Chain A
Amino acid sequence: MLLEVKNLKTYFTTSKGEAKAVDDVSFNLEQGECLGLVGESGCGKTTTALSICQMLPKEGRIAGGEIYLDGVNYADLSEKEISKHRWEDVSIIFQGAMNAFNPVKKVGWQIAEACMLHDGLKKDEAWKKAGDLFELVGIPRERVTQYPHEFSGGMKQRAMIAMALACSPKLIIGDEPTTALDVMIQAQILELLEKLRRELNMGMILITHDLSILGETCDRIAVMYAGKIMEIGDVRDIFEDPRHPYTKKLISCFPDVRGERVIPDGIPGYPPSLIDPPEGCRFCPRCEFATEACSTTCPELVQVGEKHFVACHNMEEV
């Protein structure tokens, strides 16, 4: 097993109290597997990723749980120790590719620099490595000496991926890697990520709010809501046999051109406050199947299929 996250709790200190951004999340990931982490804004998907890489902002802290990556518990490591593992074991591709590069340094140099720091390469070797990485992600080699403004959005995202691959990580996390891009470029990037994952046998976590891109890229999907995993399972489990009311509703919110033209119902209400979340199931106030039990006890993830787990009291009725 490549990654094992056990009962992860990440809390943020705010002026109004402690926000439980991630509250008791557990999942695991095999070598070469791709897990999609899907949910709406504020559901804790990015926080989960940042917790794994230990890159939380200063207001955030891991309040409990364990994160094993290749047998090492990341939650226990100090900042100094973790900086060795970051990039070499796990790397992350952020959403705002446009802004992630330093505008006054050559793109290739920014990648070469990372190689020199981590792998101890000499300058000319590092430049060569940057060129190799460029070719790997489909950018012509000679563009290493160009500056970020000479790159289009899709190119920058490719370069970002090249940088994430610089130290051959075992796990790569894509945090909305295609959200700011056009559909055609999005398809190119998704295709590239998939190709790289297969060729390099990396584990991958793909974080997105767009459920519709997950079917084509992931092996498994975890649906998050208000800091908890509501349902996790094989791609087919989630799309063909969703058991949680939230998963069902979320899927119905995405138009399917193969079906009829009916405006979906949407989900009434708004997500709960994370500072003072509902006592029972977090989805209870917006759920049409909610019963007495839902408002008092929080449902645990229950196994319903080989890889399929659901956290709902009333899944029989759903």
Chain B
Amino acid sequence: MAEKMLEVKDLRVSFEVKKGLAETLMGKKETIKAVDGVSFEIGRGEILSLVGESGSGKTTTGKAILRLAPVTGGSIKFEGEEISGKSQKELHEFRKKAQMIYQDPYQALNPRQYIIDIVGEPLDVNDLCKTTEERLERIKKALENAGLVPPEDYLYRYPYELSGGQRQRVAIAGSLIMNPEFIVADEPVSMLDASIRTGIIKLMLEQRDKMGVAYLFITHDLSLAWLISDRIAIMYLGKIMEMGTADEIINHAEHPYAKALINIMPIPGKMIDSGRDILEGETPNAAVDIKGCKFCARCPVRQAICETEEPELREISPGHLCACHFVK
């Protein structure tokens, strides 16, 4: 791996959920462990994909790293500096280097602002430009980098005048304008049509190749993760179940959950003659404390030990980690 950029160790995020009035009066509280001890590293210019179903904690992990969700435990080191305990003021420098791209380009942009102001906002907030000319130059360059050419055509338009793909490009221009080193991309293409998707993906990869931007790419689409990332981490109920290089995960997954996901991954043109291998049931409620392996209730190969002891995420071959008692 290239130079270490981000180091996440035993990250924990839990939310308190208020129940009904009676429970509140009795002082009973329910906590949801959205992220329950997640550790990984990302190198400069590396793309790590977090893959999982809804409720697996992948988005919360991404947000917590950028301190957009409350960190309850663990450490987040960015370029050697601890991020988790910093005050909002101290985070200022970090925020310039680390950006986020959201899933829904229809909601991420302020509908009443011109594109020029949406993209230029980070500059204004950080007071980076002394003259209006400089600001305009930088905004134009960011739009150009995001594939919106000629940029003059877009400056004084409102988001509603643009298509979904163009909006996502505007959102990306807004994060690129700070020349970030690290971007958390939360399902950036899942709202877009297939033919528009690749344009956005290429744009993101171009930034990686040219500027060495590293990405934490959050997605539910395993085949997309395989296509673009260096490594993949598969999450389930706030834990990483398996992590390794993209090819290794797709071709040699060992964890029963990862295997199940790969088995039912839709592939264009694949015909099914016999039935699918489908896991029974659904992801359990994150508020219920599970003692052993989180996946235990749905696991086809579970045994007694799984219900009492939680397996550790350990290396099973160089660079390939797996959290299962029965994987050698």
Contact = CB atoms under 8 A, between A and B. Distances in A.
A267 B282 contact: no
Nearest to A191: B276
A258 B250 CA distance: 9
A186 B276 CA distance: 11
| Of listed B53, B193, B198, residue having the most chain A CB within 10 A | B193
A211 interface: yes
Interface in B226-242: 226-228
A40 interface: yes
A236 B260 CA distance: 26
A254 B266 CA distance: 10
A184 B264 contact: yes
Nearest to A218: B271
Interface string B30-68: 000000000000000000000001100000000000000
B250 A254 contact: no
Given A235-B271, A250-B195, A263-B201, A255 B224 contact: yes
A297 B321 CA distance: 58
A263 to B, nearest CB: 6
Contact of A183 (B246, B261, B268): B261
A185 interface: yes
A251 B53 contact: no
B224 A40 contact: no
Contacts of B26: none
B195 A216 contact: no
B48 to A, nearest CB: 16
A115 to B, nearest CB: 27
Nearest to A42: B193
Interface in A242-270: 249-251, 253-258, 261, 263-267, 270
Given A41-B193, A152-B282, A266-B199, A182 B54 contact: yes
A306 interface: no
A256 B246 contact: no
A188 interface: yes
Contacts of B96: none
A249 B272 CA distance: 23
Contacts of A249: 195
Contacts of B196: 266, 270
| Of listed A41, A188, A254, A267, residue having the most chain B CB within 10 A | A254
A183 B266 CA distance: 8
Given A183-B264, A211-B268, A191 B194 contact: no
A212 B271 CA distance: 10
B265 A261 contact: no
Interface string A179-195: 00011111110110000
Interface in B272-299: 272, 275-276, 278-279, 282-283
A89 interface: no
A256 B195 contact: no
Given A183-B53, A187-B278, A257-B226, A212 B266 contact: yes
A190 B165 CA distance: 29
B267 interface: yes
A257 B250 contact: yes
B192 to A, nearest CB: 9
B223 interface: yes
A272 B241 CA distance: 44
28 contacts: A183-B264, A183-B266, A184-B282, A185-B53, A187-B264, A188-B278, A190-B276, A191-B276, A191-B278, A209-B193, A212-B223, A212-B268, A212-B270, A215-B268, A215-B271, A215-B272, A216-B276, A250-B195, A253-B197, A254-B223, A257-B223, A257-B265, A257-B267, A261-B226, A261-B227, A263-B227, A264-B198, A266-B199
Given A184-B282, A213-B266, A253-B197, 9 more contacts: A40-B195, A184-B279, A188-B278, A212-B267, A216-B276, A250-B194, A255-B223, A256-B268, A266-B196
